[in-house]
Structure formats: C-alpha cells, structure tokens
Amino acid sequence: MGPDTIDERFTALDPAVWTPAYLPAWSSLEAAAATWYIDHDGLHLRIPPSQALWCPDDHRPSLRVSAVQSGNWSGPVGSTQAQQPFLPGQTVREQQPTTWGFTPYLGRLEVACRATIGPGSMFSAWLIGLETEPERSGEICLVEVFGEAIHRDGTTDVGCGIHAFRDPALQEEFSTHRTRLDVAEEHVYAVDWSTDGVRFSIDGDEVAHSRQSPGYPMQLILGVFDFPERVADPRFVPELVVSRVTGTALG
C-alpha cells in the first residue's frame, strides 16, 4: 500500500499519488478525465460547458465530473473487479494500473478547500474502500454539499457520514447538518478515524460522530459534479479548489 502520511500542497499533480480521472475502470482514463489546473491557490477541478458526460451510456441521471483519486486499480476487462460499481454486475471496460498513492487505515485526514457551485452541481471529498475484496466497499464521506443546500440566510446543509454499500459490517449512517458556512470560502473538512469510530469536523468543530469503523484501507476522492438535466445556466462552471490535503495513517 501507499505511504502512511500525506502533506499535499498541490504545487504539481504527482502521478504516483493522484489519478486525475473518476473511477476510470467503468469507462477509461481518457473518457473519465478531469478538467484541472494548478496555480498558487492549489488544485482547481472544473466542469466547463465542453466537459463530456461521465459513463453516458450507463449512468442515470446524466452526470459530469472532474475528480482526482489517491488510488486506482482494477481487474481485467470484462471482470467485475473495480471500485464503486453503480450497476448490478457492472464490468470493467479498461483495466487500470495499480497505484496506491495514499490509502490510509485509521488516522486523521484533513482537506482544505473552497467551491463554486450552483443549482444542479455539488462537491465532495470522501474515502472509499479499495475493494480488492468486494465487501471492502464502505465509504467515509468528509463533506458533501449540493448547490440547492446553500440557503439565502447564509446557512448551508453540509453532509457527512458513513455509506455501507456492499460491506455487511456497516450500516448506512449519513446526515446533513445546517451550519453557517460559505463554501465559497476555504474551510477544513476533517475526519478522525479510529477503531472506536469516526469523528467529523469542520474548521476544528465536531459536527458528527459515528461509532462505526470500516476495517480496511481506503483511498481519497476529491470531486466536483453537475447534473446537466438540472443545470439552469449551461454557461455556469462549477469549481472545487483544494489547497491542502494532510493525513496520517495509524493502522
């Protein structure tokens, strides 16, 4: 597996750590490629009007995404061995090289980021099981915010929690928390993950606590999404800007 620590300031996108494509086994590295660049603010993930649909033949509703992930692998073409399938019996279309950039088990992880989103778009940062065994598929979501969850009174419904997926040892435990938060400004979303559970925080303040603890290594995904059928202005460009990712694995 990858190193036990990460202190990423995004002066460059290291291919030994980051794959700039979203779950590419279900399509290809080219078809799932992110639109991104790096400047003094960090990593910019964007969805311009020209961005292609992700898995257009299979995924409903229509989805566009620019994401990077800190691990990648798959079985051979035609196998079901890959991460986060979204259809029953889904098969690999392009075999992926194995890259374990940062795949912690237990520890603390922080993501400092800001986002520009509107109706029909969202951003998220989450850990997923590597699924080298299908049951190792749980998710720890640090943050998930939809454009519709940003309210005129200055509050935002921020989602975080545990998704069980195909892990029989986990239960679904995801919730949203209304907080006075402007996602267009940088905030630090963090998890402290131990054998006793997972604590979720924003800017150092705890917002949720789960007593569940996925029992295997995970990789990080950072992404911005939009749903073209719900986008009011096709010229709008959702963007996620990540300035820092720091973490230490304890397991």
Cβ–Cβ < 8 Å for 161, 173: yes
Q: Which CATH number goes with the domain that contains 210? A: 2.60.120.200
Phi, psi of 26 (to 5 degrees): -80, -5
The verdict on residue 166 lying in a domain is yes
| 24 within some domain | no
Note whether 108 and 117 are within 8 A (CB): no
- Are 231 and 49 in contact by the 8 Å Cβ rule? The answer is no
Judge residue 53's burial from the number of C-beta atoms within 10 Å of its C-beta, 0-12 exposed, 13-18 middle, 19 or more buried. Answer: middle
How many separate domains does the chain show? Answer: 1
- The parent domain of residue 199 ranges over 5-15+34-65+101-249
Give yes or no for a contact between 74 and 92, defined as CB atoms under 8 angstroms apart: yes
Residue 105, in any domain of the structure: yes
DSSP-derived secondary structure letter, 127: E
Does a structural domain hold residue 110? yes
48 found inside a domain: yes
Please check whether residue 206 lies inside any domain of the structure. yes
Q: Burial, 108: exposed, middle or buried (Cβ in 10 Å; 0-12, 13-18, 19+)?
A: middle
Spatial distance between the Cα atoms of 178 and 181, rounded to a whole number of angstroms: 9
Is residue 128, in this structure, part of any structural domain at all?
A: yes
Q: Is residue 78 part of a domain?
A: no
Tens digits of pLDDT across the chain (251 residues): 667 899 999 999 999 999 999 999 999 999 999 999 999 999 999 999 999 999 999 999 999 999 999 999 999 999 999 999 999 999 999 999 999 999 999 999 999 999 999 999 999 999 999 999 999 999 999 999 999 999 999 899 999 999 999 999 999 999 999 999 999 999 999 999 999 999 999 999 999 999 999 999 999 999 999 999 887 788 899 999 999 999 999 86
Instruction: Return d(Cα 242, Cα 223) in angstroms, integer.
Output: 10
